[in-house]
Structure 1
Amino acid sequence: MKFDMDYIAHHNRLTLMNSYYKIAIAMGLMIITLILNNLYFDVIIFALMLILIVGVARISFKSYLKFISIPAVFTILTCVFLLFFFGTGNIVWDSHFYGIAIRQDAVDLAIYTFFRIFACFSCLGFLGLTTPIAEVLHSLEVIKVPKIVIEIALLMYNTIFIFLNEIDI
């Protein structure tokens, strides 16, 4: 199965919902997630976006997993890096090799980082999987985002999907 984000954005139950509402929901929850710095809120936002994407919009769970798989790899690598190379608290695990150890505050930081990234990316996924890119860019134009920013966003979007089509994901 080839992943076609444009097809998914055009064929789900939330496609006809006003794009301004979807942008406000996605960006509002993402900003609140970044401001609050609360693990429980991050988990709730991730779960809420999952319910909206899979349950309400009726986008298949397999498509959602495919969408989130690449950022998940980078998130996991980042959290592993945080585990081994950050922290100053109590040692949870010691490798006895060049002082590499996992400390409690590094575990906490990795967990907070993981869920914060997934909460924010789920908000972007909600917007990207339920709203066609033309509507998003038109909405940005209406709210007076500079034209050069919109053009760059469109070029990046096209380049990413040309690349994905070439590597046949």
Structure 2
Amino acid sequence: MHSMFENTLDNYAHSNGLRETNTLFKVIFAIATMLVSLASTSPIVPLLITLVISFLLIFQAKIPWKFYLKFLAVPFFFGFLTFIFMALFFGVGAHILDLGIFNLAVTQDGFNRGLLLFSRVLGGFTCMAFLALTIPMTELFSELERFKIPQIVMELAMLMYRYIFLFLDEGINMYHAQETRLGYSSLKKSFKSMGMLGSNLFIRTWIKGEQAHIAMESRCYDGSIKTMKEPESMRTIGARNLVLLTLFEVGLVIGLYFTGNFTLF
């Protein structure tokens, strides 16, 4: 049984507003944009990429904004925590904010480094979200084969994609089962329920994974997952799309050049 989250991702990947756009074009666009984001030495370009990709997903791909914000919440929280730690513990130079406790202070270097890392996290993740929400996974892996990625890496990625959702699905089912039995009705019961959930989740997921593997072997799985869709040719992208893609990426690179030394402090 597929998890609700996996079904939602697959549904959007198959029915979004950019579904008919050339798959190879979307892959090249997302990967090239992500590389620009990672290469940026200032937070401006990655944050601009975040806004552009978010606009495309919400207004062009028609992904519901509430779902997209939930999808973005985890990397945002992770990036924000990283920003806080970098600002407080990994900076040198002048202080821009003294907290007054435990000699903690926000330094210029730490703040700027943390903000840059935070913007890179958001920029990179939104590019990955663009791939996940506009391209079905089978088509995505089929297109990635043209980049000469080793077959074993592709197989592992596809299996990991499936098993991650097995893990989430089992965790959600166990949580709902505990909730219906009032397992979270008090703080004491909540700690006990979470402990039981954590101790049993790995075992239950392992069993589910074994069952999934047995089911695959019964359907003639031999270590290689075949996809029905053939990789698309570069010619199918079209001259207009290639020109737009080139102009956009060149514009981002120019932005890198002019904002390379930008800092807030």
TM-score (norm: length of structure 2): 0.60
Partner of 1:141: 145
Partner of 1:64: 68
Match status 1:80 vs 2:84:
yes
SS of residue matched to 1:92: strand
Cα shift at 1:111: 1.4
Paired residues for 1:2-17 under 5 Å: 2-3=4-5, 4-17=8-21
Partner of 1:115: 119
2:131 to 127, 134, 142: 127
Paired residues for 1:147-158 under 5 Å: 147-158=151-162
2:59 to 28, 51, 55: 55
Cα shift at 1:154: 0.5
Q: Which has the larger radius of gyration?
A: 2
Paired residues for 1:27-42 under 5 Å: 27-42=31-46
Residues in 2 aligned to 1:163 and 1:11: alpha-carbon distance in whole angstroms: 25
Structure 2 runs not aligned, ≥5 long: 174-265
Residues in 1 aligned to 2:106 and 2:39: alpha-carbon distance in whole angstroms: 27
Cα shift at 1:79: 1.2
Partner of 2:212: none
Farther off after superposition, 47-56 or 99-108:
99-108
Residues in 1 aligned to 2:40 and 2:99: alpha-carbon distance in whole angstroms: 35
Residues in 1 aligned to 2:123 and 2:148: alpha-carbon distance in whole angstroms: 27
Higher relative CO (Cα under 8 Å, sequence separation at least 6) belongs to 1
Partner of 2:176: none
Residues in 1 aligned to 2:93 and 2:40: alpha-carbon distance in whole angstroms: 24
Q: CA RMSD in A?
A: 1.6
For 1:131, give the aligned amino acid: I
Cα shift at 1:96: 4.2
Structure 1 runs not aligned, ≥5 long: none
SS of residue matched to 2:96: strand
Q: Deviations over 1:107-165 (max 9, x none)?
A: 11121111111011111111111111000111122443211011010011001111222
For 1:71, give the aligned amino acid: P
Aligned length: 168
Cα shift at 1:22: 0.7
Residues in 1 aligned to 2:162 and 2:121: alpha-carbon distance in whole angstroms: 24
